[in-house]
Chains A and B, each alone.
Chain A
């Protein structure tokens, strides 16, 4: 859907934007480089200086492997050091490096509990010198998300939250409102077919569940390459229908 270019509506949008946050800097966006995705996002990309939530679909809600790589790809396309806040020790750094995030750029913080993770993320956001702050959390209250959003707005650092829960049933928490600007769900799809036996380039079902001043959308995309770029599958037209049906069902 193209955003209408009515001058009255854009004037109103500007006024609302000024009301929403008076001291927000013009931070810009980081585009995905996939035209189909960027077109649907307000501003043409993922807003910097804002809070974004990512989660995995199905079993991914527990391990968040795809969500972590999706976030790593975004961080790889930014410039500068990244703070990655963890509560569990199962993140494998070579995979991030294969998504384009060089190990020299990432500082990991291991904290004991969720409250400490949120406090650490907020400190990272307030510092202002980081390219992005990534955090892995399960529960996110409205108040906590509002704090993170304000901290991100004042410094212009994007906050990328990976939501992962202990049990798949707790993922219903993802429906709760929060102050995040966008909310994404990334689920695995069968990989790109190869002419020989083997596993091709991974594919994801990327769902934009919520976007402030934008609309929901979903895409079938090819996973991050060595520079962290996503891509639109070349054979989108003759993709089997069943795979897509599964992705929806498990993610709902």
Chain B
């Protein structure tokens, strides 16, 4: 028995049983022959998909794992945690249940993903070695026989081994244990041999003398981009994503990934995007090979013709790419109306270059130009049920209401949450003596306590 799914585990089947034992436990059990070759191929294919989608350095980690270096790529996915969550979700859609962890070293990430992540785990920098120490010995990627021996001797956790003097351990159990311990704590580097699909367009340049100065790196990036663009042109495609992989003399690999909103093979633009990221590269003692690859390419459509009638629309894709690679794709958006009367839910986000949707917010009720991220409670003097307050106190300042307009009743959206079934908000526009205008609401309709607490909140500021 090499693998079992969730249902089988629930029925008491464990990996390592014999087939006859399992069949006795569960009558009518479906058994499939193991296909190690097929599994390895599938894992390689998954690695290539991950390479296209997530990070420039990905490798299969047989039998059941993938390893990737996400440095320099997480900015395109909104940070570490968001990237992992999205990754697990996408894999689940494809029918793969996955667990993922980010740590300082391959060894630690391997252990945390298999023993801590549920389904994701992000350890803060410098903390992963401490977290790994609390894990059982199975997490250490040792041969099964060695793990059993260590267990017999009373070692249960990785921390127990780390606390012992290292030299006698090596003498007794061999150098493999030492290597694995150092890899888990990040004291020994473990290079990843990245997967390279054969059809990927890639240009590289090796240096006899390692380079380190930013100007030199920029110059060679320029030369590589020219060659890459020639290769793209012969295939009639444009790059949607670019990976710059810098192999350092000390065997470390640094990667930079930039994304493009539209396929492009414009030399100046691609060079500019890559050079914008040079400061994130740490050359260390020098870089002896630069590799530039285009993992995602898309066919370039025929060039746009200039219309004689319509005014030319400016091409913003260059600016959008530049800003998206600088602030992250999640920080760059267009607002779009959503079908909701609740103000917090009325604004959706679109990609900056998405086609114009043409719709606008319906309803001509005045809306404040500043909406507080969370409504702030105010103390009021008000007549119930439908009068605006006579005066209110917000952030310690008491204001007398000179004029008011309302109520505008917003009902809870019962199809989202049960708690909103009867919830009501009554919004008022109020103006104080000085002419400052505020958007305040009362939770509840003023009569029925089931509709809300009847407390007053300030939600926005008008101009």
Bind each other: yes
Chain B residue nearest in CB terms to A127:
B319
Residue contact B320 to A107, C-beta cutoff 8 Å? yes
Determine which of A81, A103, A129, A191 lies in contact with B336 in the assembled complex, contact meaning CB atoms within 8 Å: A103
Q: Is B411 an interface residue (CB 8 A)?
A: no
Interface flag for B100 (CB, 8 Å): no
- Whether A102 and B360, one on each chain, are in contact in the complex, defined by CB atoms closer than 8 angstroms, is yes
Is the beta-carbon distance between B367 and A70 smaller than 8 angstroms? no
Shortest CB distance A64–B (Å): 7
B315 contacts A223, C-beta separation under 8 Å: no
Q: Closest Cβ of chain A: how far from B50's Cβ, in Å? A: 28
Which one of B346, B352, B433 lies within 8 Å of A94 (CB-CB)? B346
Binary B-proximity of A108-129 (CB < 8 A = 1, otherwise 0): 1111100010011001100111
Known A65-B461, A127-B316; judge A93-B347 contact (CB<8 A): yes
A33 contacts the other chain (Cβ, under 8 Å)? no
**For B303, what are the chain A residues with a Cβ–Cβ distance below 8 Å?**
none
Q: Is the CB of B434 within 8 A of A104?
A: no
Number of interface residues of B (CB under 8 A): 51
Q: A69-B463, A92-B460, A116-B326 are in contact. Are A107 and B369 (CB under 8 A)?
A: no
Other-chain contact of A91, B314, B360, B361, B370 (Cβ < 8 Å): B370
What residues on A are CB-neighbors of B368 within 8 Å? 65, 92, 95
Question: With an 8 A cutoff between CB atoms, is A96 at the interface?
Answer: yes
Beta-carbon contact of B435 and A108 below 8 Å:
no
The 7 A-B residue pairs with the shortest CB-CB distance in the complex, in nearest-first order: A129-B314, A66-B463, A93-B335, A92-B371, A69-B463, A95-B369, A190-B435
| Mask: chain B, 347-358; 1 = CB below 8 Å from A; 0 = not | 100001000111
Q: In the bound complex, do residue A191 and residue B436 qualify as a contact, i.e. CB atoms below 8 Å apart? A: no
Could you show 20 A-B contacts with beta carbons less than 8 Å apart? A63-B370, A94-B337, A95-B367, A98-B361, A103-B361, A107-B332, A107-B352, A110-B327, A110-B331, A111-B327, A116-B326, A123-B319, A127-B318, A128-B314, A129-B319, A186-B463, A190-B402, A198-B403, A199-B366, A199-B405
Whether A108 pairs with B335 at a CB distance below 8 angstroms is yes
Instruction: State whether A68 touches B369 (Cβ < 8 A).
Output: yes
Q: Which of B361, B372, B431 contacts A199 (CB 8 A)?
A: B431
Q: Decide if A129 touches B405 in the complex (CB within 8 Å).
A: no
Min C-beta distance of A231 to chain B, whole Å: 15
- Set of chain B residues within 8 Å of A110, measured between Cβ atoms: 327, 331-332
A sample of 16 more A-B contacts (CB under 8 A), given A103-B337, A127-B318, A191-B435, is A65-B461, A68-B369, A68-B370, A70-B463, A92-B367, A94-B347, A97-B361, A103-B357, A119-B326, A186-B463, A190-B431, A190-B433, A191-B437, A199-B405, A199-B431, A247-B435
Instruction: Establish whether residues A72 and B320, one from each chain, have CB atoms under 8 Å apart when the complex forms.
Output: no
B82 within 8 A of A: no
Chain A residues within CB distance 8 Å of chain B: 58-59, 63-70, 72, 80-81, 83, 89-98, 102-104, 106-112, 116, 119-120, 123-124, 127-130, 186, 188-191, 197-200, 202-204, 223, 243, 246-247, 250
Asked if residues A59 and B436 are in contact (CB atoms below 8 Å), the reply is: yes
Q: Give the CA-CA distance A191 to B293 in the complex, in Å.
A: 61
User: Which residues of chain B are near A94, meaning CB under 8 Å?
Assistant: 337, 343, 346-347, 361, 367
Within 8 A of A (CB), among B125-170: none
Given A109-B332, A123-B322, A130-B314: A198 and B405 within 8 A (CB)? yes
Most buried by A among B336, B403, B461: B461
Which residues from chain A contact B370 at a C-beta distance below 8 Å?
Answer: 63-65, 68, 90-92
Shortest Cβ distance from B425 into chain A, in angstroms? 16
Which residues of the other chain, A, contact B435 by a CB distance below 8 angstroms? 188-191, 203, 243, 246-247
With a CB–CB cut-off of 8 A, which chain B residues contact A90? 370-373
Given that A92-B369, A97-B361 are known contacts, is A81 also in contact with B314, CB under 8 Å in the complex?
Answer: yes
| 0 or 1 for each of B322-350: is its CB under 8 Å from A? (1 = yes) | 11001100011111110000010011000
Whether the Cβ atoms of A96 and B332 lie closer than 8 Å is no
Which of A93, A116, A186, A243 has the most C-beta atoms of chain B within 10 angstroms of its own C-beta?
A93
- Among B332, B335, B336, B462, max chain A CB count under 10 A is at B335
Distance in Å: Cβ of B375 to nearest Cβ of chain A: 12
From A246, which residue of chain B is reached at the shortest CB distance? Answer: B434
User: Is B47 in the interface zone, CB < 8 Å from A?
Assistant: no
Complex Cα–Cα for A93 and B350 (A): 13
Q: Does B203 touch A at the CB level, under 8 Å?
A: no
Residue B377 at the A interface, CB < 8 A? no
Q: Which of A65, A91, A94, A199 is the most central at the interface, judged by chain B CB atoms within 10 Å of its CB? A: A94
Q: A72 CA to B370 CA in the complex, in Å?
A: 13
List B423-463 residues whose CB lies under 8 Å from chain A. 429-431, 433-437, 460-463
Please tell me which one of the listed residues B315, B334, B367, B430 contacts residue A104 in the complex, with CB atoms under 8 A apart. B334
- Known A-B contacts A92-B371, A107-B320, A190-B402; the reply to A120 vs B463 at CB < 8 A is no
Q: Closest approach, in angstroms, between the C-beta of B27 and any C-beta of chain A?
A: 59
A96 adjacent to B369 (CB under 8 Å): yes
For A107, the chain B residues whose CB sits under 8 A away are: 316, 320, 332-334, 352
- In the complex, chain B residues 68-94 whose Cβ is within 8 Å of any chain A Cβ: none
B116 beta carbon closer than 8 Å to chain A = no
Whether, in the assembled complex, B390 has its beta carbon less than 8 Å from a beta carbon of chain A, the answer is no
Tell whether A104 pairs with B357 under 8 Å between CB atoms, given A123-B323, A188-B435, A199-B437: yes
Chain A CB within 8 A of B404 CB: yes
Q: CA separation between A189 and B434, bound complex, in Å?
A: 7
